[in-house]
Each structure stands twice: as structure tokens, then as C-alpha cells.
Amino acid sequence: MRELIIHNMPELPFAAAEALNQLRINLGFCGDQIRTIMMTSSVPNEGKSFLTIQLWRQMAQVGSSPVLLIDCDFRNSEMRRKYSIRSASGEKLMGAAHHLAGKANIQNVIYKTNIPNGYMIPVASTIANPTILLENPRFAQMVAYCAGQFGTVLIDTPPLCSVADGLNIARSCDGTVLVVRSGSTSRRLVQHSAQLLRRTETPLLGMVLNRADTGSRASAYYQRYYGSNDYGYGRSHSHNTSSNGGT
């Protein structure tokens, strides 16, 4: 199996790791039948990719079964650049789009990573119009294959209100999680996204209120000690995460 190295992924501060812990546990309560989980949000920049990769890492570190992250933000994925993700052998990466376009076997796009138990299907290079790939039956087959190989499959996606990709992807998943950026995304927009997801008939497992200013002593603690880390934790507002993941 090919291998990816994630070069730049600092550990999370305690309060953020703890909030993710709660999300992971709540998702676990949804039942063993929920293996493929789509992470989405209404608009850009709400923290979908951040939460997906952090949740993936925590699930891989804590759990006993392998966890797969599929990057399905084909149009605009930032993951490779942001986390300095590179192929261990130096060879050119292949992603889900290669498989969906019939250019690679599924086994050739699933990478082992330097996170033990953590596997990834990256976006090798962005594409302008992935709709045709997402509507191809190969997409559902790919997700079903991955569900058979991994304990949990997390899927990162583009925002729901920009393009229809998320709705196409949701149809092949067991459940969805809607990320909401605290103090930024309107209630109306969140209701609209929930309604869109409902139409896919894939259960909305829960919502994550991301970057909430909890004002707690714990968040004050990590702001003091992690005021300028790579995630851009600022002093003016805390970047915490709270969740009500669960049915």
C-alpha cells in the first residue's frame, strides 16, 4: 500500500481535543451501522476540513479499527497544502477522481499515513466540474467498498449552499454532520442546509457548533498557552468546538 506523510499537523490544545472527544463519542452512540459519515456545512470557512481531519486523527489514535478520510472537496481542497501532505515515495499522488474516472484501482488511491490506523484518499489535484464523477455509480461503489474495509469513513465535502456536490455525496453515506460556524452562519441558512440534507434521506446525525466562544476557564487556559499556534488561535476570540452529534 502506498504511503502519505502528514508533515504539519500540530496537536490540538486540551479544550479543543476534549470537544472533539465528545463529538467522537456522540457519533459512536449513533450505532455500528453508521460507518460512512459526511462532514458538511452551509458556506465556506466553517471548519469542515479542520474538523474532519482532526476527528479522523483522534478516531485513529483512540480506536482499534482503521479509519479512512476521503477528501471529496474536488473543486477546492486545501488539505494537502495546509497540512503539508506528501507521498512518502515522492511519486505523484492519485486521488478519488482518478478512481472515479477509471484511471486507478481503488487500492491504488487508498494511502496509509504516518498516523497509525489512519488512512486517506486525498485530492491529488483540484477539478472544475466533478458532478459527473459524483453522479457516476462508481462513487457509491467506492464508498461501499471503503465501508467494508474500514471501521469508520469520514468524508470532507464542499459547502452545501455553493454546489450540489455535498447532496450527491450524502446519498452514498450512512449519515451527515453539519458544521456551523458560531456567530457567523445565520439560523436561516442552517435551517436551509438541514432541509437540503433531509431531502437526501440520509440521516443528519448532528450539528457541530464550531469556533464557539465558550468563555470557559479551559478555553482561557488554552488561549493563554496556544495564542499563536498554526491553527491561528487568537486572543480576541476563542476557537472552540462544541457538538450535539447524536441522533
Ligand X SMILES: Nc1ncnc2c1ncn2[C@@H]1O[C@H](COP(=O)(O)OP(=O)(O)OP(=O)(O)O)[C@@H](O)[C@H]1O
Max distance between CA atoms of the chain, in angstroms, equals: 52
CB of 174 to ligand X, least distance (A): 21
| Distance between CA atoms of residues 239 and 199, nearest Å | 31
In this chain, which residue has its C-beta nearest to ligand X? 47
Which of these segments, 23-31, 119-127, 130-138, 227-235, binds ligand X (CB under 6 A)? Answer: 227-235
| Per-residue interface string for the shown chain with ligand X, residues 5-44, x marking contact by CB under 6 A | ------------------------------------x--x
Q: Which of 159, 166, 175, 245 binds ligand X (CB under 6 A)?
A: 159
Q: Scan for cell 481542497, then name that residue.
A: 77
Instruction: Indicate which of ligand X, Mg ion, none lies near residue 211 (CB less than 5 to 8 Å, by partner kind).
Output: ligand X
Question: How far is residue 180 from each of residues 98, 122, 203, 232, measured CA to CA in Å?
Answer: 31, 24, 17, 18
Q: Scan for cell 454546489, then name that residue.
A: 163
The dihedrals phi and psi of 17, each to the nearest 5 degrees, come to -60, -40
CB of 236 to ligand X, least distance (A): 13
Measured from the CB atom, is 152 or 219 closer to ligand X? 219
Q: Which residues contact 37 (CB under 8 A, 6 or more apart)?
A: 27, 152, 153, 154, 155, 173, 174, 175, 176, 177, 205
Our finding on whether 239 is near ligand X (CB under 6 A) is: yes
Instruction: Indicate which of ligand X, Mg ion, none lies near residue 186 (CB less than 5 to 8 Å, by partner kind).
Output: none
Our finding on whether 243 is near ligand X (CB under 6 A) is: no
Measured from the CB atom, is 66 or 204 closer to ligand X? 204
Question: How far is residue 150 from each of residues 2, 154, 171, 209, 245, measured CA to CA in Å?
Answer: 16, 10, 19, 27, 21
* Residues at the contact surface with ligand X, assessed by CB under 6 A: 41, 44-50, 73, 76, 78, 158-159, 210-211, 231-233, 239, 241
